[in-house]
A and B are shown apart, each in its own frame.
Chain A
Amino acid sequence: DTAVSQTPKYLVTQMGNDKSIKCEQNLGHDTMYWYKQDSKKFLKIMFSYNNKELIINETVPNRFSPKSPDKAHLNLHINSLELGDSAVYFCASSLHPEFGFTQYFGPGTRLLVL
């Protein structure tokens, strides 16, 4: 059973396009996250979301927007893609982060913007 899944695994697209990445977790977790890993393998939080609120990293351009249709899904929509958006995007989930539960990561989506 896949705990945190993402689709697609690879995404190649042109500059200026709009794309979405889907994330689903079947762990019953109440908090989900999106991270960006750049070419130097540096990981940075983009969003965290539970059923109460969305926390946005202030450095994330507003072209990026998370959408959560329900507790088990947190999709990432990207408008007007730029070359610098090329990276690996990881979705993650956890139980109550205030108690220090570990985050479980999805397999990643490798985005290449041409």
Chain B
Amino acid sequence: ELKVEQNPLFLSMQEGKNYTIYCNYSTTSDRLYWYRQDPGKSLESLFVLLSNGAVKQEGRLMASLDTKARLSTLHITAAVHDLSATYFCAVDKEDSGAGSYQLTFGKGTKLSVIP
């Protein structure tokens, strides 16, 4: 069974600081996704990482993927209050040759950025 672990699960940081959220997964996969969820809202896609060494950046967020280490990171630079949300990583894997792909999500990292 594919397992996806995020840490930390809760993160409180001051505006202007940098921090990294980690996402480890238990089996080989080349595809990792990051989503953002605001309280009471739906999930918004942030990044899709499809190969080893992939790095993507959007504003103050940068995501990377190391498939050999089975690790993705989401780095936050100079945090601002608007980044407060829950961030999920998710990994997909083909279902044993059945041709279907299903996402397995981490438990999420609840980020609070304090002024």
Contact = CB atoms under 8 A, between A and B. Distances in A.
Interface of A: 33, 40-45, 48, 53, 55, 57, 90, 92, 97-98, 100-108
13 contacts: A40-B107, A41-B108, A42-B105, A43-B88, A90-B43, A98-B94, A100-B48, A100-B50, A103-B45, A105-B42, A107-B41, A108-B41, A108-B42
Interface of B: 30-31, 33, 35, 37, 41-45, 48, 50, 86, 88, 90, 92, 94-95, 98-105, 107-108, 110
A55 B95 contact: yes
A71 B45 CA distance: 22
A16 B43 CA distance: 30
A68 to B, nearest CB: 15
A98 B37 CA distance: 25
B102 A98 contact: no
A100 B31 contact: yes
B100 A55 contact: yes
A53 B104 CA distance: 19
Contacts of B102: 33, 45, 48, 55, 57
A54 to B, nearest CB: 9
A53 B100 CA distance: 9
Nearest to A41: B108
- The residue in A55, A98, A100, A107 that gathers the most chain B C-beta atoms within 10 A of its C-beta is A100
A103 B48 CA distance: 10
A55 B90 CA distance: 18
Nearest to A57: B102
B105 A43 contact: yes
Given A97-B92, A100-B50, A55 B42 contact: no
Nearest to B32: A100
Given A90-B42, A108-B42, A102 B105 contact: no
